[in-house]
Amino acid sequence: MVNAIRSAIESVCDPEIPVITIVDLGVLRDVHQVGDAVTVTITPTYSGCPAMDTIREDIVVAATTAGAGSVVVNTVLSPAWTTEWMTDEGRLKLAGFGIAPPGANPTCPQCAASDPRTVSEFGSTACKALMVCSSCGEPFDRFKDL
Ligand SMILES: [Zn+2]
């Protein structure tokens, strides 16, 4: 029961990047359970990220479906989330989804060329920049460093 609830919470995905879980993102900080009451602690990727409301609702639904009687989702802003918290697996999944992971040297997810240029600091969402590959010409999103 405990593990079912925890694993249900851990499999909640970023609504904007459905291959990435909140564990991959480094957003899930703690799951605490007393009886069937669950307290979940998350740190948003950045304050005001619209995806966080959806993630919060998805956590409640996932935990309740897995058998939790009550679910409280706490948001902790300090220490602030950084892209450092993203797991290696999360970075690989991002790349597989066609989004360049955060880091010093972005590479094109299509052809792996390492000289893309930034077209706009705001891609499909505020946390991504729109880039275009200088080699194959493909546009792609890059998860910004925070
Ligand atoms: Zn390319």
CATH number for 2-75 (one of 3.30.300.30, 3.40.50.300, 2.60.120.10, 3.30.300.130): it is 3.30.300.130
Confidence label for 16 from pLDDT (cuts 50, 70 and 90): confident
- pLDDT at residue 89 greater than cutoff 80: yes
Question: Ligand 1 centroid to 130 CA: how many Å?
Answer: 13
What pLDDT sits at residue 135?
A: 94
Residue 1 has pLDDT above 80, yes or no: no
Each domain of the chain, given as residue ranges in start order, spans 2-75, 98-143
Ligand 1 centroid vs 116 CA: distance in angstroms?
8
Report CA(127)–ligand 1 centroid distance (Å). 21
pLDDT digits (tens, 9 = 90+) for 90-120: 999 998 999 999 987 888 988 989 889 999 9
How many Å lie between the centroid of ligand 1 and the Cα of residue 7? Answer: 36
In this predicted model, what pLDDT tens digit does every residue of 20-75 receive, in sequence order?
999 999 999 999 999 999 999 999 887 667 788 999 999 999 999 999 999 999 99
Ligand 1 centroid, distance to 117 Cα (angstroms): 11
Residue 36's alpha-carbon distances to 6, 12, 33, 39, 63, in angstroms, are 12, 19, 7, 10, 10
Kindly give the distance from the C-alpha atom of residue 59 to the centroid of ligand 1, in angstroms, as a whole number: 36
